[in-house]
Amino acid sequence: MVAAAVSTRVRTTVVNGGPGVGQGQGQSARVKKSRGSAATWVVIGVPVLLALTLVWQIGSSLVRTEIAVRDAVAVSRVSLEADPLGSRIDFVVVDRSGQETTMNGDMSIKLREPDGTLWQIARTVTAADFSPLPEGSLLAGRVGYSMVVPATDWLRAPRRGGSATVSISVQPTDGTPFSTVAEERFP
């Protein structure tokens, strides 16, 4: 059998001046500070970032700012329906966030048949003129404006399934004017 000799080398550290001398002057054995690797920062940082994003999403919805001014900016929906007294026009005005609102100002409504016959009216409205629309209407329960075109004023109301064009122009007292044109079929 052949035995191999194991060679070992002994390391010795020599500090001049004896034990304890020079340690306050930076000559002690250097200790390596371990810095985290990039992977460690990613593994810790991504979940922390996701947690902060979640907190932001929840927190921002709790302190959501409301639109203080609820000025009317558009007509949401128009309906033209038969009424025992003639033809009824219902419409809803909305604010910038799409919520139903009321308004003060001047309004012009035009009703035109396909043959060109025109009925129109201009009036001043206030917030008190807006109310929940009547039952049986397409817009029932929504807060809006309703008016009836008397059968004596519009003698030839469209037959069932006929169409008419409803134009509404609004000039709010304290806002920007807006208008809409809707092609409505008579139910």
Residue 169 has pLDDT above 80, yes or no: yes
Tally of domains within the chain: 1
60-70: pLDDT as tens digits:
777 766 555 67
In contact, 81 and 137? CB cutoff 8 Å: yes
Residue 108 lies in a domain: yes
Angle of CA points 142, 122, 137, to nearest 5°:
25
Check which CATH number belongs to the domain holding 178 and give it: 2.60.40.10
105 DSSP β-pair partners: 125, 172
Alpha helices in 100-181 (DSSP H): none
CA distance 88 to 148: 4
pLDDT, tens only, 102-157: 888 898 988 887 777 788 889 999 888 888 887 877 788 888 888 888 878 776 66
Say if 41 falls within a structural domain: no
* pLDDT mean over 166-174: 86
Q: Is residue 32 part of a domain?
A: no
Q: How far apart are CA 151 and CA 66, in angstroms?
A: 44
Residue 16 is assigned to a structural domain of this protein = no
Residue 12 lies in a domain: no
- Asked, for residue 165, whether it belongs to a domain, the answer is yes
Classify residue 31: in a domain, yes or no. Answer: no
37 domain-assigned: no
| pLDDT score at 80 | 83
Question: Which residue range(s) make up the domain with 151?
Answer: 74-185
For 171, how many CA atoms within 13 A lie in the half-sphere containing its CB? 5
- Of the given ranges (91-95, 132-136, 156-160), which has the lowest mean pLDDT? 156-160
pLDDT computed for residue 4 by the predictor = 56
In the prediction, which pLDDT does 46 show? 93
Which residues is 77 bridged to in the sheet? 92
